[in-house]
């Protein structure tokens, strides 16, 4: 278990699947097998180029209207939905992911923490000194305090600008090594620059965390003049997959009326049918939604993500048995994706058929092994254990779920409860005690700030 993911989930609320209900809130952490799979296909080659452990990659998709992405250390990258929707090509998104990969490769997160601590120490020293002087001369004391804080702030801003410039250079280098053009980053910087072109003229460049966008545009434009891959295009599947997830995100996060207005009724392309299926689903028109997705499945029967969407439409329409079949097909086609496996298990559990319970349990155990930081899997396991009458293991799973979402108090209560119920189970007692040890560590860290 990792405190970074706990913090992320705590800040961005419980992970939500793209769905007709509930309405996605700003800042919600989204889970979707297809979108994650496509973004991983963009990022894994970058990790290889950067000599990072590909198994460490964790991608977080945050529902937000702000165009942003960020690296968090430990192979973790967050990307906002607005960035994906606003981008004009896969190359632009890959460029942004290359920039974040460069932050990870340069250990900028760890160095940033060190720089923050240094700035904090400098500010505290100034504060202590200012208080001491202020006892004799209040005006001089205030000047020292304000001056030390300003120096600390400027030091952090300069450090941040340096790291961002370094990440741009690293991104260009990684893209070149893969034979990709960095023009996607140039285009994206130009796109963002249009948003604040006027304000940039009045900005103090020393008050920014990033270099001026005009400076970054100049850097990439210069790089492209001598890059052997300046005009290279991506393989067609990458661009096609990007358009699919872009349509999917837009259709799930905007009104159905807007989606349908953007698609001509006579347009029978894959993207048009995909968008209409989601829009009808959002609008509660299950019959039309299934008609559109079935037309895609008939044409592309081996596409796991079309089956996954069909399963979701059926599941949320209360047609659980049909959803089970659709989800099972998705898992058979892509057994490497634990999120598809947990979707199938969820439907099996909701069938309220005891004959399905063991299958759901087996799928969840495998999914937990492959994705041990997913709180939803622990929640479903708790339900399975509860239905089987294994209350101690249900409490342990609830403790693990609570710990992963940052609910330390509940995690501690459930872990202690599981210990009382699992007195003769040495293996699971060890897991419960491990949670309590982690809770102590988290509490100790929290008390330091």
Cα separations in angstroms, 234 against 93, 180, 245: 12, 7, 17
> Is residue 375 reached through a cis peptide bond, with omega within 30 degrees of 0 on the bond before it?
no
161 vs 82: CA distance, rounded Å: 24
Predicted pLDDT of residue 194 = 64
Show the low-confidence residues of the chain (pLDDT under 50).
1-15, 21-22, 110-138, 140-160, 197-211
Domain residue ranges in the chain: 3-236
279 vs 219: CA distance, rounded Å: 41
The predicted model scores a pTM of 0.81
Predicted pLDDT of residue 364 = 97
Edge to edge, the sheet with strand 58-62 lists: 16-17, 29-31, 58-62, 76-80, 69-73
248 vs 157: CA distance, rounded Å: 37
33 vs 31: CA distance, rounded Å: 7
Predicted pLDDT of residue 448 = 56
Predicted pLDDT of residue 19 = 65
Residue 423 DSSP code? T
Q: How many residues does the chain have?
A: 449
Please give the full DSSP string across 360-375, using - where no structure is assigned.
Answer: HHHHHHHHHHH-TT-H
Predicted pLDDT of residue 159 = 42
Three-state DSSP class for residue 187: helix
415 vs 402: CA distance, rounded Å: 10
258 vs 279: CA distance, rounded Å: 9
């Amino acid at each position: 278990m990792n405190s970074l993911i706990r913090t992320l989930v705590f800040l961005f609320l419980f992970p939500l699947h793209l769905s007709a209900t509930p309405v996605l809130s700003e800042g919600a952490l989204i889970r979707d097998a297809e979108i994650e799979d496509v973004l991983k296909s963009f990022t894994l080659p970058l990790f290889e180029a950067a000599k990072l452990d590909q198994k460490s990659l964790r991608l977080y998709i945050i529902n937000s209207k702000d165009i942003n992405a960020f690296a968090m250390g430990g192979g973790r990258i967050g990307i906002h939905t607005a960035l994906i929707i606003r981008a004009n090509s896969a190359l632009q998104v890959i460029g942004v992911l290359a920039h974040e990969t460069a932050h990870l490769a340069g250990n900028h997160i760890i160095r940033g923490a060190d720089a923050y601590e240094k700035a904090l120490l400098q500010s505290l020293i100034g504060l202590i000194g200012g208080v001491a002087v202020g006892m004799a001369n209040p005006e001089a004391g205030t000047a020292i305090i304000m001056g030390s804080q300003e120096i600390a702030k400027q030091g952090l801003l300069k450090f941040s600008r340096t790291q961002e410039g370094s990440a741009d250079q690293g991104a260009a280098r990684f893209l070149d090594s893969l034979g990709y053009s960095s023009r996607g980053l140039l285009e994206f910087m130009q796109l963002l620059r249009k948003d604040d072109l006027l304000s940039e003229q009045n900005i103090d460049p020393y008050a920014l965390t990033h270099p001026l966008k005009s400076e970054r545009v100049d850097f990439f434009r210069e790089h492209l003049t001598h890059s052997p891959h300046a005009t290279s295009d991506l393989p067609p599947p990458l661009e096609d997959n990007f358009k699919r997830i872009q349509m999917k995100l837009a259709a799930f996060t905007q009104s159905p009326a807007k989606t349908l207005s953007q698609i001509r009724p006579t347009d029978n392309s894959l993207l048009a049918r995909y968008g209409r299926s989601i829009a009808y689903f959002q609008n509660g028109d299950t019959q039309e939604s299934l008609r559109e997705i079935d037309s895609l499945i008939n044409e592309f029967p081996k596409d796991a993500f079309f089956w996954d969407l069909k399963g979701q439409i059926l599941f949320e329409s209360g047609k659980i048995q049909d959803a089970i079949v659709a989800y099972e097909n998705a898992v058979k086609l892509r057994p490497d994706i634990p999120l598809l496996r947990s979707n199938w298990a969820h439907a099996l559990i909701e069938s309220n058929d005891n004959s399905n319970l063991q299958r759901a349990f087996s799928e969840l155990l495998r999914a937990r092994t492959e994705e041990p930081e997913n709180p939803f899997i622990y929640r479903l396991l708790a339900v399975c254990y509860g239905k089987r009458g294994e209350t101690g293991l249900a409490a342990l799973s609830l403790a693990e779920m609570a710990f992963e979402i940052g609910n330390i108090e509940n995690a501690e209560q459930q872990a202690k409860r599981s210990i009382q119920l699992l007195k003769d189970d040495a293996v699971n007692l060890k897991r419960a005690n491990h949670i309590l040890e982690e809770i102590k560590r988290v509490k100790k860290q929290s008390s330091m700030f």
